[in-house]
Structure 1
Amino acid sequence: MPGNGKALAAYGRAAHSGLMTSTVVPDVTAAAERIRPYVRHTPVLRAEVDGRPLVLKLEHLQRTGSFKLRGALNALLAGERPEQVVTASGGNHGIGVATAAAILGLPATVFVPDGVPASKARRIEAAGARLVRAGTRYSDAAAAAREDAQAPGTRYVEAYNDPVVVAGQGTVAAEIVADAPEVDAIAVAVGGGGLAAGVALGSGGRLTVAVEPERCSCLHQALAAGHPVEAEVDSVAASALGATRVGEVPFEVLSGPGVRSLVVGEAEILAARDRLWDEFRLAVEPAAAVPFAAWLAGAVPGEAPCVLLCGANADWTP
């Protein structure tokens, strides 16, 4: 996959104009082949809720409890093998990178903000990575991680602002298209934008519905401003969606015409999370319920929409 935002921007424009088959799809396809031995092809669930058809992509059943393993593996497998791996994370990305590194026999260090949920910190360490707490925000942890990653032979794995990571995340959309070709829109939660951008590039031109919490909406605010901007992070879903600024690489893709940006409230998120448990016995973290909240509110268009449930890394009981 191209190594800069301008190239990916061109791919994003091609995707939204219907000219993507010769450029973008092979990259997502290559990522899928690369990571296939190590990830689960997660199932889809067709259902009817409130009299409306719905497809749920159960990516929270991925082996790390979220989609993040896909992008981490693609990043580590696509280039020259590093001697060690460093990253920064609010939780799920760190679990994905730690697991990817363990699979490939590489030492990993994950920097996290002080407020990282205990369950996610525990999973990072259980995967074999060294956990380092740095600052109160993700940006603090990222700055510390980048400094640590200056050592020779070290690969810094971006959480979302890297075309190779975006391509890896796009493999989840490719699975949706393969397993539920009738889907005409995919609703997905947005943090830094890597997953949503991957969905846009890997979904064969289907509408991407990018959904964020009202108080954690860096993409929505960037689209309004016309460029990435700093945004507040104050949401029950912040540990997974807590980027203060959408990545420039994802923004280039998500600012195209094939994307619709929505926001939902905190009460809607928690109600959607509880509904997923009550209706289907699906236990997900709040971030995964964000697109379902938008669907329940009737805001997701399409005759056969899919809601992507992105993660389940939370200690939660109904």
Structure 2
Amino acid sequence: MITLEDVRDAAQRIAPFIRHTPTIAVDATSEPTGVDRLGLKLECLQPTGSFKVRGATNKLLTTPKEQLAAGVVTASGGNHGLAVARAARMAGVAATIFVPKSITPPKVAKLKLLGARVEIIGEIWNDTNRHALDFASREGAAYFHPFADPAVVAGQGTVALELLAERPDIDVVLVAIGGGGLISGMGVALKALKPSIRLIGIEPEGSPTLKASLDAGHVVRLPAVTSRVATMSCAETDPAVFELVRDHVDEVVLVSDEEMLEASRWLWFEFGIAADLSGAAGMAALRTRHFVPDAAASVATLVCGAGPDGIG
């Protein structure tokens, strides 16, 4: 699907339109994390509040202008929709964002503030996506897939370039999984530049899409999705994304929605970081010891999305 050069090209292309986010040390906390060397890559500080702005911007900049004339459309649990709405504003065209019923109200409000038309339909992303595809076909709008488009995946992979440039000593990286676009893009870059790195995916117990597929050896559709985390809920991934995950991800672990909520609250209490539940997934895995790195390992986890979930 993509190569390291695709990720490097994307990094140069999108640089004027995104932020280089910091990686901060987890230290001086009120309770031990169990990891001596731990960093938080704060993608929650990106425009629109998540890493998704990288992929959506790369997709916009690689789409011919004539294909954008009728506007852009996508289906999203929230974060990708926000990034696409921003991309549409950059291009001066309309954005229509289809979202599932499980989307959080703050993300709907933010989408509308960005000028997007919001259509709330479907219980999970896969159902919602069918409506987005129908709209794209009917209206001629440019469709921006949230995780199975090579331009989007390459854009998400640029997170890895920044992380390694800032923390070349890193041994383990934890990444939340929804459809798999972020972890597959990062996996291509990380494993090409430092093959010894361990890449750990985190999925909700109620939406173990990639873990189920990896265990089966092929893409499977989950019979049910029960997680309430819309940004991480996906019944079936894309075959090309599955292949990248299979080839580059070392392990996928599961956490509960409640464990992500507690981790989000912890990030707010300890650091004043407003993470949505997907942004707290890596810390949830570490705090609950669902994943335990080697004692001497240098570890980084992405705070991949912002939200008020853990505040209050």
TM over 0.5: yes
Q: CA deviation at 1:152?
A: 6.8
* 1:119 and 1:315 in contact (8 A); partners too: no
Per the alignment, residue 149 of structure 1 pairs with 136
TM-score by length of 1: 0.87
* 2:147 and 2:181 in contact (8 A); partners too: yes
Q: How does 1:105-184 map to 2 (within 5 A)?
A: 105-151=92-138, 154-184=141-171
Which of 257, 261, 271 is the matching residue for 1:266?
Answer: 257
* 1:120 and 1:314 in contact (8 A); partners too: no
Secondary structure of 2:47's counterpart equals: coil
**Counterparts of 2:233 and 2:173 in 1: how far apart (Å)?**
21
Per the alignment, residue 312 of structure 1 pairs with 306
RMSD: 1.8
Per the alignment, residue 15 of structure 1 pairs with none
Give the aligned residue type for 1:159.
P
- The structure-2 alpha-carbon separation of the partners of 1:265 and 1:135, relative to structure 1 and needing over 3 Å to count, comes to closer
Per the alignment, residue 192 of structure 1 pairs with 179
- The structure-2 alpha-carbon separation of the partners of 1:154 and 1:215, relative to structure 1 and needing over 3 Å to count, comes to same
Per the alignment, residue 301 of structure 1 pairs with 293
1:61 correspondence with 2:45: yes
Which of 22, 25, 37 is the matching residue for 2:4?
Answer: 25
**Counterparts of 2:134 and 2:243 in 1: how far apart (Å)?**
27
1:235 correspondence with 2:214: no
Give the aligned residue type for 1:266.
D
Q: CA deviation at 1:233?
A: 2.0
Q: CA deviation at 1:153?
A: 5.1
Q: How does 1:73-92 map to 2 (within 5 A)?
A: 73-81=57-65, 82-83=68-69, 84-92=71-79
**Counterparts of 2:62 and 2:248 in 1: how far apart (Å)?**
29
- The structure-2 alpha-carbon separation of the partners of 1:25 and 1:257, relative to structure 1 and needing over 3 Å to count, comes to closer
**Counterparts of 2:249 and 2:153 in 1: how far apart (Å)?**
17
Secondary structure of 2:301's counterpart equals: strand
* 1:112 and 1:133 in contact (8 A); partners too: yes
Secondary structure of 2:231's counterpart equals: helix
Give the aligned residue type for 2:97.
V
**Counterparts of 2:204 and 2:93 in 1: how far apart (Å)?**
35
Secondary structure of 1:255's counterpart equals: helix
* 2:227 and 2:257 in contact (8 A); partners too: yes
Identity across matched positions, percent: 39
* 2:35 and 2:293 in contact (8 A); partners too: no
Per-residue CA distance 1:136-175 (angstroms, 9 max, x = gap): 3222221111111115752100010111111010011111
* 1:65 and 1:312 in contact (8 A); partners too: yes
Give the aligned residue type for 2:17.
Y
Please list every run of 5 or more consecutive structure 1 residues that lacks an aligned counterpart in the other structure. Answer: 1-7, 12-23
Which of 280, 300, 304 is the matching residue for 1:289?
Answer: 280
Q: CA deviation at 1:300?
A: 4.5
Secondary structure of 1:223's counterpart equals: helix
Deviates more, 1:117-126 or 1:49-58: 49-58
Secondary structure of 1:286's counterpart equals: coil
* 2:51 and 2:304 in contact (8 A); partners too: yes
* 1:209 and 1:300 in contact (8 A); partners too: no
Which of 77, 93, 98 is the matching residue for 2:85?
Answer: 98
Give the aligned residue type for 1:44.
T
Secondary structure of 1:282's counterpart equals: coil
Give the aligned residue type for 2:202.
V
Deviates more, 1:216-225 or 1:75-84: 75-84
Secondary structure of 2:221's counterpart equals: coil
**Counterparts of 1:229 and 1:178 in 2: how far apart (Å)?**
36
Per the alignment, residue 30 of structure 2 pairs with none
Per the alignment, residue 19 of structure 2 pairs with 40
Per-residue CA distance 1:225-258 (angstroms, 9 max, x = gap): 111212232224x211011112222211111154
* 1:66 and 1:313 in contact (8 A); partners too: no
Per-residue CA distance 1:95-132 (angstroms, 9 max, x = gap): 11001111222211111123322111111111111112
**Counterparts of 2:87 and 2:139 in 1: how far apart (Å)?**
20
Give the aligned residue type for 1:35.
I
TM-score by length of 2: 0.89
